[in-house]
Amino acid sequence: MKSSEEKDMLKQTLLVTALVSATLASSAAFSGHDEKPHASSWSNFALENQIKAMPRGEATNGQKIHEQMMCNACHGEKGESPSRNYASLNGQTAEYTTKMMLDYRDGRRWENYKQANIMVKLAKAMDDQQIADVAAFYASNPATTWDIETKPVAADIDRLVRKGDVSRMIVPCASCHGAHGEGKGITPAIAGQVPEYFVRTMKAYQGKHRHNDVNEGMAQFTHDLTDDEIQALAYYYATLNKQGDNHDRN
């Protein structure tokens, strides 16, 4: 059962989301995207150069943009998702948030569902400086510590995180996302992420509904993961900040 505070927060989120939808719908057809831009797939070299070419972000300005463009309707006051429907952005690397916004804006992320429609339209309304500023704002805030009951980490999940699975050619999650899920550069932080969003993202890569991963890295590594493994990894990273050093085993 949700607490009264959680229910009030959810109602507020739904109300503001409806207002965002109405605002966007008044300026453009909300049933789908406009004509898709023809953006080339990222290479490591091209993405690195694009990130370096972006202006320096200012977190203070990013907070203002976050509020003015009503990003807080879905992503919370400081990027922490107020519901299980949206990604948490707080604690995310600035480089990764920048990449996501460029992908939405330029057509690399073009999923045709309501939430993606909102993100595409918002990203297309932002210039490089605004994108850099909101990315800096989210990076300046600590990642979410979910109030979820902690459980011992199963040996097979611990192995996937730290050692991977050679038989399935799955590299360790920690080798890219960090020992604490903190991410680095364009590799996203995943500690404290909304577990439901984590699962949706993994399934989107697995089902080839998302194509914006460089060299199809995530698509390759998720291909042979089972649904149970994906669920367990989502729980592991959602509770990683809460358990802290309890996860640091050799």
Contacts of 115 (CB under 8 A, 6+ apart): 74, 85, 86
What is the predicted pLDDT for the residue at 248?
45
Ranges 21-25, 142-146, 197-201, most confident: 197-201
Give the residue, 133 or 241, on which the prediction is more confident. Answer: 133
pLDDT in tens, 175-215: 999 999 999 999 999 999 999 999 999 999 999 888 899 98
Give the residue, 39 or 81, on which the prediction is more confident. Answer: 81
pLDDT in tens, 75-104: 999 999 998 889 999 999 999 999 999 999
Report the pLDDT averaged over residues 155-175.
96
DSSP-based helix, strand, coil % in the chain, nearest 5: 55, 0, 40
> What ranges in 125-226 are assigned the alpha helix state H?
128-139, 155-162, 173-177, 195-206, 217-222
Q: Kindly state the tokens that stand for 34.
A: 């406009």
Report the pLDDT averaged over residues 231-242.
91
Report DSSP letters for 82-99, one per residue. Answer: SSTTS---TT--HHHHHH
Band the pLDDT of 28: cuts 50, 70, 90.
very low
What is the predicted pLDDT for the residue at 33?
56
What is the predicted pLDDT for the residue at 4?
53
Instruction: Tell me if 7 sits within 8 A of 13, measured CB to CB.
Output: no
3-class DSSP state of 165: strand
The whole-angstrom separation of Cα 212 and Cα 244 is: 31
Tell me the whole-structure pTM to 2 decimals: 0.84
Q: Quick check: 15 pLDDT over 70?
A: no
Q: Count CB neighbours of 196 within 10 A.
A: 17
Band the pLDDT of 173: cuts 50, 70, 90.
very high
Q: Kindly state the tokens that stand for 132.
A: 């850099």
Give the residue, 144 or 93, on which the prediction is more confident. Answer: 93
Ranges 10-14, 141-145, 188-192, most confident: 188-192
Q: Which amino acid is at 142?
A: P
What is the predicted pLDDT for the residue at 111?
75
Q: Quick check: 29 pLDDT over 70?
A: no
